[in-house]
Amino acid sequence: MFERINKIIQFTTKMVLLSSIAIITSACGEGIVELDKSAYEPKIVIEGFLFPGQPVRNVRLTRNIQLNTEIDISTVVLSNAKAVIVDEQDREFALTYNNATFSYEYRGSDLSIEAGKSYTLEVVATVEGTPLQAKSTTTVPSGDFRVERGASRLAPMAYRERDENGDLKQFEIVFNRAENNGFYALALIALDADTSTFVYDNAFGEFTAEDVLEDFDEFRNRFTWIQDQPLEPGQSTLEIFWFDIWFYSNYQAVLYAGDRNFKDFLTTADQVQEIDGNFHEPALHIEGDGIGVFASAIADTVYFRVTQ
């Protein structure tokens, strides 16, 4: 899952930046950040997502680094950490490091991720001779969350197609809401993205093939969300706006009903500066010596096509 949104939220870059800010001056309107290597503190960087009915895998544990430091994958990845998942009955499930994926996973068959249940990730590691520990708890969303395909507008559509009244049409995803959940995120991937399928005659700017290649991942992978939806059962609609469509292509759209950790990471991890220039910490919900995200979500996937 996380690979679908990784390029969009740029996890590693954010975590390096967050963990490298040493001194923040609060002069109103100035937003000055001073970096002091002497104030650097080693941290465990967590990246993990749980999904009901799916095995626990791709839990990435790395360490933070100072800015202006060359990244060496062999020293950034915490391959010797102790990591366990603890369920509501206090049963511990030890995770194993996978050398091929540079991540941790549970290889047994007795851990089942269930909707509505809470799970805690506990990590112990040593970074630069300093013993560190961190933990985070996620509660998996529950309810009859799913995309209502029959009610959604997903039929093939020409780029910025208009209806008989001349009004611009939009793709729409209608879905049943999860219980007590007002936040839903959508990851879009243009499956046929290429410089030859790019919409050069678009409504938002002029781009060359070189421009497309330079920011290819940003054009191909798009991300949006809606929040403050009603918490009671019912249906909501998410519109896919044309500024997120950059290719004549088939598209994969993955809709997520995420927990509090999921929501707060996606909405605050790169929004750390107030309008007056002052800075604040993002909401990460990790206790101890850790930063990053440990969250859960329910996902449903649909497809649509944009034609010329």
Nearest partner of 123 among 72, 65, 63, 66, judged by Cα: 63
Over residues 102-110, the mean pLDDT reads: 96
> Which pLDDT value is given to residue 72?
74
Tell me the pLDDT band of 234, cut-offs 50, 70 and 90: very high
- The predicted-structure confidence for 239-293, as pLDDT tens digits, reads as follows 999 999 999 999 999 999 999 999 999 888 665 455 555 544 677 899 999 999 9
Over residues 114-129, the mean pLDDT reads: 96
State yes or no: pLDDT of 9 exceeds 90: no
Cβ-proximal residues to 138 (8 Å cutoff; 6+ apart), any chain: 50, 118, 119, 120, 121, 259, 261, 262, 294, 295, 296
Whether the CB-CB separation of 163 and 172 falls below 8 Å is answered with no
Whether the CB-CB separation of 43 and 63 falls below 8 Å is answered with yes
Prediction pTM value: 0.82
222/9: higher pLDDT: 222
CA distance 115 to 110: 16
> Which pLDDT value is given to residue 266?
87
> What b/e readout covers 238-271, taking b as 16+ CB neighbours within 10 angstroms?
bebebebbbbbbebebbbbbbbbbbbbbbeebee
> Which pLDDT value is given to residue 284?
85
> Which pLDDT value is given to residue 16?
41
93 has which bridge partners? 85
2-141+259-297: CATH topology is Immunoglobulin-like (2.60.40)
Strand duo 44-50 + 60-63: pairing: antiparallel
Token reading at 303: 């497809």
CA distance 63 to 28: 32
- The predicted-structure confidence for 17-35, as pLDDT tens digits, reads as follows 444 333 333 344 444 555 5
> Which pLDDT value is given to residue 69?
74
303 has which bridge partners? 252
> Which pLDDT value is given to residue 280?
43
Over residues 215-223, the mean pLDDT reads: 96
The DSSP call for residue 273 is B
> Which pLDDT value is given to residue 128?
87
Over residues 41-67, the mean pLDDT reads: 93
Nearest partner of 286 among 183, 115, 80, 138, judged by Cα: 138
Cβ-proximal residues to 105 (8 Å cutoff; 6+ apart), any chain: 55, 56, 57, 58, 59, 95, 96, 98
Domain ranges across the chain: 2-141+259-297, 146-257+301-307
Domains 2-141+259-297 and 146-257+301-307 share a fold: yes
- The predicted-structure confidence for 75-98, as pLDDT tens digits, reads as follows 889 999 999 999 999 999 999 999
Whether the CB-CB separation of 46 and 83 falls below 8 Å is answered with no
Domain 146-257+301-307: which CATH number of 1.10.3470, 3.40.50, 2.60.40, 3.30.720: 2.60.40
Judged by DSSP in three states, 228 sits in coil
**Cβ–Cβ contacts within 10 Å for residue 171, how many?**
25
Whether the CB-CB separation of 63 and 16 falls below 8 Å is answered with no
> Which pLDDT value is given to residue 36?
57
Token reading at 76: 């950034």
Rounded (10°) angle between helices 11-20 and 2-9 = 50
